[in-house]
Chain A
Amino acid sequence: MEFFRFRRDIPFMRHALVFNVISLVTFVAAVLFLALRGLNLGVDFRGGTVVEVVYEHAVDFGRVRAAIDKLELGEYSAQSFGAANTALIRLPLKAGVSSAQLSDRVMNALKADDPSARQVRVEFVGPQVGKELYENGALALLLVALGIVGYLAMRFEWRFAVAAIIANLHDVVIIMGFFAFFQWEFSLPVLAALLAVLGYSVNESVVVADRIRENFRKMRKASVTTVIDNAITTTMSRTIITHGSTQIMVTAMLVFGGEALHYFALALTIGILFGIYSSVLVMAPLVMWMGVSREDLVKPEKRRDGPAGETIRP
């Protein structure tokens, strides 16, 4: 079986401007959603209490709300979670209320109302811890970006490093844009997914960059655009198969992983789809615009090897 049969190199670079405009538009849209709607930060980052309650029958939210209303806890939300007999109650932080005891009070009220209520999960994050998790998350993102730029700059060349990180941060921003647009809950596992995507998409850029460098060595007469087009075309098959394989695992998580892994898998799915596009069609044009040349990648010593790099092929 062979899916990809390219008779000739696809002239990606001829349409580079179009791709860049498309990315710019999606990027700006994502930033706009982030700015206007903001992320729906989960309890991990914002602090607060989450209580998951399972009943022996379908949840009667009217009664649940009535029971909690009596406690006068201020704003809260009660929704169904995963199954019809499960309720998820979110209580925001409130100054002056001892938050550690909050879940107990809610559970007591619910049990008094309906003895079949059973607490299966409580998560409480204090304001200080939430702030720290948020700051550490941002720091981790920054550190990963810097680490990758540093490594790629050392291994390839600064243009590749900058282009790769722009392409991949663009993925991250777009995932966050999705989360802002749909107001999906942004939690710690989603952050983990984001960082995993960052590392993973860079893989893609590395593979293409590797091929571009190799082509510069082999195709000594070819123009920069030909070299890049050929690099993208020849790695295309691998790109799709690899991403497809990863997506198989992620889909399994989406289907079988339940609520706990849902947004994690969703973030990965978006990341994988945009990763294919961005690392190939954003990074390569950027490298080209920044004016990469053969001399930047192929060191003079290598050139003295002479014809060894050239091969005759059908």
Chain B
Amino acid sequence: MNRYPIWKYAVIAVSMAIGFLYTLPNFFPEVPAVQVSSSKAGVKLDTALLQSIEESLKAASIPYRGATLDSSGVKIRFDDTETQIKGRDALGTKLGGNYIVALNLLSTSPQWLASIGALPMYLGLDMRGGVHFLLQVDMKAALDKAGDRYVTDLRGLMRTEKIQYAGIAREGGGVVLRFRDEAERAKALFTIDKNYPDLNSRAQEGGGGSEFRVFSQLKPEAQKRIQDGAVLQNIQILRNRVNELGVAEPIIQQQGAERVVVQLPGVQDTARAKDILGRTATLEIRLANEEPGALEAALAGQVPFGSDLYTERNGSPVLVRRAVVLTGDRINDAQPGFDQRNNEPAVHVSLDGTGARLFKEVTRENVGKRMAIVLVEKGRSEVITAPVIREEIGGGRVQISGRMNTREANDVALLMRAGALAAPMEIVEERTVGPSLGKENIDKGFRSVTWGFLVLAAFICVYYMLMGVISTISLSINLLLLVAILSMLQATLTLPGIAAIALTLGMAIDANVLINERIREEIRWGATPHAAIQAGYERAWGTILDSNITTLIAGIALFLFGSGPVRGFAVVHCLGIMTSMFSAVFVSRGIVAIVYGGRKKLERISIGQIWRPGASAPAPAKP
């Protein structure tokens, strides 16, 4: 009668096994840990590092539970937060600036689970505590900066091409060049078009016909490229700065065209985080002190007055004068490239007008000497590179080359650009949750789901008897599958997400209520138990589908237009609807088939009391 084919049981068994496997990691407690990862590209994370970490922990006699090496770095587990902090401090001083040493919580779930991708659910910031920032990049400033750069470039171009011009200025979102006659203007237009394909230049009359003008504007696609570049560069800078904060799993992502999301789980000192993210690092160009014997004296501990001793990135010492020639805000751009003469990797730097003039003076007077490019961040200075000045450099275009490979050229260019943000950023949204509140939120959410579920289960079991028990089992399977899918997708679980789990369970029971009521009704009108079960499931299915699809529409809209925590709600809600259709209909039918399917002569179903209108009562209006 109500038999179920083997393959359907197989589907149920397999999905439950998978569900169980992927839910499992959530039950293992988390332990305090320290995570060591590299703060710079090229710093190796290898077994040698692992060994030195273990040795230094042993040397400091800090007990730890084990250290593992994976692609993201070395993770060391501790018994409690006290030893964890001691471990962090010890490793922080030992390893130095090339590594990020951050506090973290790690699941104790066994390795074999992690190797099949079964990981605990990812907790949102409102559950674990931390900071969420939404930063908006000032695009107008990015374009302004580009405009300034073109003023310098065009001025230089006019000079090298020997075109007479009367003036150049920023005007109306572009650059205006003024000429005294038509011929010069035509020449200029031709040269600009040839050299700057990103510019859209056209002739303009001005000053009552006595003035010949060229108006140059960035093409829309070039504008977009500059804006995209500004966002990407700012993200890169933010990443460098977050590394300094020592956060275990930071999220830095672009959102939309001009916004950046920064999420720092576990960070408590928001004032410091804001400070570091909003900081403008400075880049300084200074001259090296190359007086005979000065460097040797400095290395011996006698740093000459007015100079600082630094170490270059390649490790060699360099003595630098304190007087600053140029600061980073005079640098418009720095790009890696190649030296046109010998094809060696090089960095092309372009300076703004004032910068170009200053640079020209300084280089003229110091041919043959070295200059140092120093990055000053948080009071710490670092020499990025110290090239030798070969000749006087005018025009604001500088090339640094020699003694570097392509990767180094990339790094230097990045660091020089990173001296200042490509465009200023403003915090437009901030959400900070303390760790205690996060823990409280987990407890509250967990308690809501547990108590709601228990009361609901008790009610359904009493009201529908054995069929109620079956409904409850299928509801539990629904919960199991939902948690498994959330863990599998590594969806972020927020407090609204837990609320969605509770709400979805409350709504999912609807399908079972529909089925059970339908079965009761069929029995009431005289159907045999087997026929009633058959009809109950069949007739209820259409209704369940319709009502779930409308709920799904609401969930999808919420996902598309919601933000942050509400998105979490929408994701859980939508997934819950789908798992509930599977468990409430497919699984519960399977259980019913096990319980009742085998009996040929089924007298009655345990579905609670079924009231039949008595013979004495007037018959209901039924056809």
Contact = CB atoms under 8 A, between A and B. Distances in A.
A253 B499 contact: yes
A1 B463 contact: yes
Interface in A253-310: 253, 255-258, 260-261, 264-265, 268, 310
A7 B617 contact: yes
B561 A139 contact: yes
A116 interface: no
Interface size class of A (residues with CB under 8 A): 35 or more
B245 interface: no
A199 to B, nearest CB: 3
B550 A151 contact: yes
Nearest to A148: B550
A104 interface: yes
Given A100-B426, A120-B437, A310-B623, A188 B566 contact: yes
A44 to B, nearest CB: 9
Interface in B439-487: 440-441, 444-445, 447-449, 451-453, 455-456, 459-460, 462-463
Contact of B517 (A120, A133, A241): A241
Contacts of A133: 563
Contacts of B463: 1, 241
A196 to B, nearest CB: 6
B302 interface: no
Interface stretch (B30-38, B180-188, B501-509, B598-606): B501-509
Contacts of B436: 54, 120
Interface string B110-122: 0000000000000
A207 B439 CA distance: 40
Contact of A249 (B274, B431, B503): B503
Given A2-B609, A206-B546, A222-B623, A118 B434 contact: yes
Interface residues of B, number: 89
B562 interface: yes
Given A199-B551, A242-B513, A314-B525, A104 B621 contact: no
Contact of A252 (B432, B449, B609): B449
A155 interface: yes
Interface stretch (A16-24, A27-35, A72-80, A124-132): A124-132
B42 interface: no
A151 B553 contact: yes
Contacts of A181: none
Contacts of A234: 521
Majority secondary structure, A binding face = helix
Given A124-B430, A249-B503, A256-B451, A238 B513 contact: yes
B623 A255 contact: no
A148 B547 CA distance: 10
Interface in A82-105: 99-101, 103-104
Contacts of B609: 1-2
Contact of B551 (A119, A202, A242, A310): A202
B550 A152 contact: yes
Interface string A189-220: 10110011011101110110010001000111
Contacts of B608: 1-2
Contact of A268 (B441, B444, B448, B503): B503
A252 B502 CA distance: 9
A242 B448 contact: no
Contact of A199 (B136, B554, B560): B554
Contact of B506 (A120, A143, A249, A311): A249
A122 B432 contact: yes
B543 interface: yes
Given A195-B558, A256-B447, A151 B549 contact: yes
Contact of A248 (B459, B517, B552): B459
Majority secondary structure, B binding face = helix
Nearest to B428: A126
Contacts of A151: 549-550, 553
Contact of B543 (A104, A191, A207, A221): A207
A70 interface: no
B427 A100 contact: yes
A313 B445 contact: no
B430 to A, nearest CB: 4
A229 to B, nearest CB: 8
Contacts of B428: 125-126, 128-129
A144 interface: yes
Nearest to B256: A132
Contact of B455 (A123, A125, A189, A248): A248
B612 to A, nearest CB: 8
B618 interface: yes
Contact of A245 (B506, B562, B563): B506
B271 interface: yes
Contacts of B513: 238, 241-242, 245
A252 B513 CA distance: 20
Interface in A138-197: 139-140, 143-144, 147-148, 151-152, 155, 188-189, 191-192, 195-196
Nearest to A251: B452
Nearest to B501: A249
B427 A124 contact: yes
A151 B613 CA distance: 38
A122 B268 CA distance: 11
A201 to B, nearest CB: 9
B569 A210 contact: no
B293 interface: no
A121 interface: yes
B543 A210 contact: yes
A50 B507 CA distance: 33
A6 B620 contact: yes
A196 B573 contact: yes
A151 B619 CA distance: 38
A218 B434 contact: no
B496 interface: yes
A313 B623 contact: yes
B565 A257 contact: no
Contacts of A57: none
Interface in B204-241: none
B550 A104 contact: no
B257 to A, nearest CB: 13
Given A2-B611, A218-B623, A143 B561 contact: yes
Contacts of B306: none
A128 B431 CA distance: 16
B503 A189 contact: no
A9 B557 contact: no
Contacts of A206: 543, 546-547, 550
Given A137-B561, A252-B451, 11 more contacts: A1-B463, A136-B562, A191-B562, A192-B558, A192-B562, A195-B554, A241-B513, A253-B503, A261-B444, A313-B526, A313-B622
10 contacts: A1-B608, A120-B434, A121-B437, A126-B426, A140-B562, A189-B499, A248-B455, A248-B459, A249-B452, A313-B526
Nearest 3 pairs of A and B residues by beta carbon: A199-B554, A252-B452, A249-B506
